[in-house]
């Protein structure tokens, strides 16, 4: 007991100024939250205060920053805590929500194919853009402890590592991909059994829905800590590396927006033009309300009501298709959050920590991005979960999330706009293939009024 007391006294004696600084900053951030200051604004304030405090501590060599960085480490641990249960339950819920295999085969397959296919394309675009812009070159982080001994696995090893053999053991070991695949098997089995006997699977469906709601609440608890975590983590990085290193984060913002714009214009515009065979400029004009609401709210769920109205009243897709695609897209279709962003963070992390990635890693990156994008919660913040899944699957250090978290709010606006627009594109493509798209009304601009205040 004396040893514990001595350690506590020593920690207070050597870090009291960092503890006091953290308390004052946390109190200020809490005050902003009580005054209803926006989440993104508070994250940026946390970033700015972290920069100031970290650079101040760096200039005064006698000051120890550890008291502040401890809070950042707690935040990272809470994020890690969520990964396995969250991805398992949300993937299971997203797929098992389909009522029958016939319905799944008819429009479900097409919807998922477009969602996941465009996410894969987004991941490739994010990867190639990041390799061109090299966003992590200016961030010199110490090499990961296993960097020297890290071996690039063979393709056969990669395939075998993806196949679940003991889900409980793999969950305990933090192996994400086998858990995702196990969840997909369970979800398909629930649909199969439920198509024959709905009563047999109703308790399971209810349990999954309840677990999903509870986990969403846990995610909200953790995400609310983001401004505080960003302050602590950025303060530690700034104190260690200084302003010259942190200003390189501007390249992360530029890289992200370039990749997102390429995907928005070329991929979405190309699909609308060549597959649905409608004017992409007219399409983008019609979906502007969706883009505007998604960009400002940074929430796919908050955008869902307006997106449903846009799809039915401006794109003239039948309500039958819209009511299936739009809600599903709010929890599955994450081209920006699950495709572009994880790819950029992976390249950033590999460059910043001096870890070389090979072609096999890039293939795994795209595959895991596609799978992990299923079920990402459509609220501001949880894109970090999807990115954590990808980093974990590739064995990359999660500490990179601390560096990019401060600018993520700026990038999240564009990511969410891409996500929501992708749902509109998919609804149009599926409706066109099923004869549920009123092309004449679309071309004649026969649009109904949309209640923007419904959001």
pLDDT at 311: 93
The per-residue pLDDT for range 113-129, each reduced to its tens digit, is 999 999 999 999 999 99
Percent of the chain with pLDDT over 90: 24
pLDDT at 147: 40
The per-residue pLDDT for range 328-356, each reduced to its tens digit, is 787 778 899 889 999 999 999 999 888 88
pLDDT at 12: 53
Phi, psi of 395 (to 5 degrees): 70, 30
pLDDT at 157: 66
The per-residue pLDDT for range 419-432, each reduced to its tens digit, is 999 999 999 999 99
pLDDT at 149: 39
The per-residue pLDDT for range 139-161, each reduced to its tens digit, is 655 544 444 434 445 556 656 76
The per-residue pLDDT for range 160-191, each reduced to its tens digit, is 766 788 888 888 877 776 887 888 788 888 88
Helices (H), 197-299: 198-223, 226-241, 243-246, 250-262, 269-274, 280-286, 288-297
Question: Greater confidence, 21 or 384?
Answer: 21
Between CA 88 and CA 211 the distance in angstroms is: 10
Between CA 280 and CA 230 the distance in angstroms is: 39
pLDDT at 108: 81
pLDDT at 419: 94
Name the band, by pLDDT with cuts 50, 70 and 90, for residue 242.
Answer: low
Running DSSP on this structure, what letter comes out for residue 11? H
Phi, psi of 317 (to 5 degrees): -90, 145
- Residues 114, 120, 126, 132: what is their CA dihedral angle, to the nearest 10 degrees? -120
Give the residue carrying structure tokens 């059994």: 193
The Cα-based distances of 178 to 84, 159, 438 in angstroms read: 10, 10, 42
* pLDDT score of 230 more than 50: yes
For residue 194, give every residue at least 6 positions away whose Cβ sits within 8 Å of its Cβ, in sequence order, or none: 99, 100, 200, 201, 202, 205
pLDDT at 145: 46
Between CA 250 and CA 253 the distance in angstroms is: 5
The per-residue pLDDT for range 77-106, each reduced to its tens digit, is 887 787 778 778 877 876 777 666 676 678
The per-residue pLDDT for range 256-295, each reduced to its tens digit, is 999 999 999 999 999 999 999 999 999 999 998 888 878 8
The answer to whether residues 307 and 424 touch, using CB atoms and an 8 Å cutoff, is: yes
The per-residue pLDDT for range 374-418, each reduced to its tens digit, is 655 444 455 777 788 888 888 888 878 877 876 777 788 899 899
pLDDT at 451: 45
Percent of the chain with pLDDT over 70: 79
For 317, the 3-state DSSP assignment is strand
pLDDT at 449: 52
pLDDT at 100: 64
The answer to whether residues 221 and 39 touch, using CB atoms and an 8 Å cutoff, is: no
In 3D space, the residue among 280, 252, 253 whose CA is nearest the CA of residue 267 turns out to be 280
For residue 91, give every residue at least 6 positions away whose Cβ sits within 8 Å of its Cβ, in sequence order, or none: 180, 183, 184, 187, 371, 374, 375
For residue 114, give every residue at least 6 positions away whose Cβ sits within 8 Å of its Cβ, in sequence order, or none: 425, 426, 429, 430
pLDDT at 378: 44
pLDDT at 144: 46
């Amino acid at each position: 007991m004396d040893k514990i007391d001595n350690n506590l006294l020593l920690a207070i004696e050597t870090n009291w100024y960092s503890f006091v600084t953290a308390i004052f900053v946390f109190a200020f951030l809490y005050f902003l939250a009580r005054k209803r200051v926006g989440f993104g604004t508070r994250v940026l304030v946390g970033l700015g205060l972290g920069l100031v405090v970290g650079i101040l501590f760096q200039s005064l060599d006698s000051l120890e920053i550890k008291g502040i960085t401890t809070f950042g480490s707690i935040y990272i641990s809470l994020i890690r805590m969520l990964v396995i249960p969250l991805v398992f339950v949300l993937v299971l819920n997203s797929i098992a929500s389909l009522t029958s295999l016939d319905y799944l085969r008819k429009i479900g397959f097409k919807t998922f194919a477009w969602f996941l296919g465009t996410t894969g394309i987004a991941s490739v675009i994010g990867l190639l853009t990041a390799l061109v812009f090299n966003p992590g070159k200016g961030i010199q982080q110490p090499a990961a402890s296993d960097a020297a001994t890290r071996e690039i696995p063979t393709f056969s090893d990669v395939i075998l590592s993806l196949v679940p053999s003991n889900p409980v053991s793999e969950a305990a070991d933090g192996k994400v991909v086998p858990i995702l695949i196990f969840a997909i098997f369970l979800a398909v089995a629930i649909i199969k059994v439920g198509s024959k006997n709905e009563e047999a699977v109703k308790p399971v469906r209810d349990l999954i829905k309840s677990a999903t709601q509870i986990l969403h609440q846990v995610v909200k608890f953790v995400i609310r800590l983001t401004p505080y975590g960003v302050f602590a983590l950025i303060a530690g990085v700034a104190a260690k590396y200084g302003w010259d290193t942190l200003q390189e984060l501007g390249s992360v913002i530029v890289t992200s927006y370039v990749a997102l714009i390429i995907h928005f214009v070329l991929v979405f515009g190309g699909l609308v033009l060549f597959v649905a065979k409608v004017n992409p400029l007219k399409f983008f004009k019609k979906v502007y309300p969706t883009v505007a609401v998604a960009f400002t709210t940074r929430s796919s769920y908050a955008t869902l009501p307006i997106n449903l109205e846009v799809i039915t009243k401006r794109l003239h897709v039948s309500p039958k298709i819209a009511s299936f695609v739009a809600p599903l897209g709010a929890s599955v279709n994450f081209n920006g959050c699950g495709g572009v962003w994880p790819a950029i963070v992976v390249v950033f992390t590999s460059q910043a920590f001096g870890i070389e990635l090979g072609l096999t890693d890039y293939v795994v990156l795209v595959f895991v991005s596609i799978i992990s994008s299923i079920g990402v919660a459509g609220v501001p913040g949880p894109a970090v979960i999807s990115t954590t899944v990808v980093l974990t699957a590739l064995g990359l250090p999660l500490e990179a999330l601390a560096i990019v978290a401060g600018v993520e709010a700026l990038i999240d606006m564009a990511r969410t706009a891409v996500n929501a627009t992708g749902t509109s594109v998919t609804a149009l493509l599926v409706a066109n293939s099923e004869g549920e798209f009123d092309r004449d009304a679309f071309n004649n601009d026969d649009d109904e009024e949309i209640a923007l205040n419904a959001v």
